[in-house]
Amino acid sequence: MKLISENRAFGGTHLRYSHPSESTNCEMTFAIFLPPFASKEKPVPVLYWLSGLTCTDQNFMQKAGAMKLASELGMAIVAPDTSPRGEGVPDDENGSYDFGLGAGFYLDATQAPWNKHYNMYSYITDELPALVENNFPVTKERALSGHSMGGHGALVIGMRNPNRFVSVSAFSPVANPTECEWGKKAFSHYLGEDTEQWKAYDSALLLASKTHSIPLLVEQGTSDEFMQEQLKPQALVHGAQQSDTQLTLNMHEGYDHSYFFIASFIEDHLEFHAGHLGLI
């Protein structure tokens, strides 16, 4: 790993690293916040945060206002980049924001040329946690959260891997990507035209199938400009009803899709995960 930057924050330390990734076949970047007193003798659990379209590891760390409470709770936070990047990594030929660089959708691509690099599902599920646990004073207790495309990733990865994560939450997730334009565009390129293959990455369908057992918390703003066409939160409610699964979906009047919304309720999510991580 190569250290990019280091900053003190709320008694803890915020670090950014780059490293060669086997999953994505390129150099990846991630940030980690370590609370005070985290050490080999006293390792701490980790909340992994997955950001949305166009974002990098820096958006959450700089805008969410999560580090103060994480410091008090004794919780590390890891924020990876949202896609592979670098020379040779393919991008959308039109440079659109909803596909290609910055838009990995947290899946493992099966179609060329995307399948050589766009394997964010394996990176988040296996490679990054192993890297973090081998190099930092953290435990194997993990929670998972994210926003928008990252909320989609958090829900899908959490529900498909309840043995790896103790809890999962999301802000404004792309809940039913097989039925929205963002998802259809990404899935058709990354996964091909067989829509049956898409279902493994649709959180509303996974919720309906009851293939998981993990605590779920979701926040959605009613003034989110993407809610009706792209996010479709009611699909999560329908899925939970079909499988008789417990889902907490909080609708917030007047809130939009921005980090103002995330910062307003991030402490609720930290406390939610802290409870399942045994910190409170």
Distance CA 64, CA 171 (A): 12
Distance CA 277, CA 73 (A): 10
Give the H/E segment covering residue 189.
helix 181-190
Please say if 244 is a catalytic residue: no
Catalytic residue, candidates 147, 189, 224, 276:
224
Distance CA 250, CA 232 (A): 14
Pair of tokens at residue 252: 């917030």
Phi, psi of 202, deg, nearest 5: -115, 110
Report residue 234 CA to chain centroid gap: 20
Catalytic residue, candidates 257, 269, 273, 276:
257
Residues 6+ apart with CB under 8 A from 39: 137
Phi, psi of 248, deg, nearest 5: -100, 110
Please say if 108 is a catalytic residue: no
Three-class DSSP category at 56:
coil
User: Kind of pairing, strands 76-80 and 44-50?
Assistant: parallel
Catalytic residue, candidates 21, 23, 51, 148:
148
User: Is residue 228 within 8 Å of residue 174, measured between CB atoms?
Assistant: no
Please say if 258 is a catalytic residue: no
User: Kind of pairing, strands 44-50 and 138-147?
Assistant: parallel
Residue among 56, 62, 2, 6 at smallest CA distance from 27:
2
User: Is residue 200 within 8 Å of residue 234, measured between CB atoms?
Assistant: no
Using the structure block, give the residue that is written with the tokens 């963002």: 182
Q: Would you name the residues annotated as active-site residues?
A: 148, 224, 257
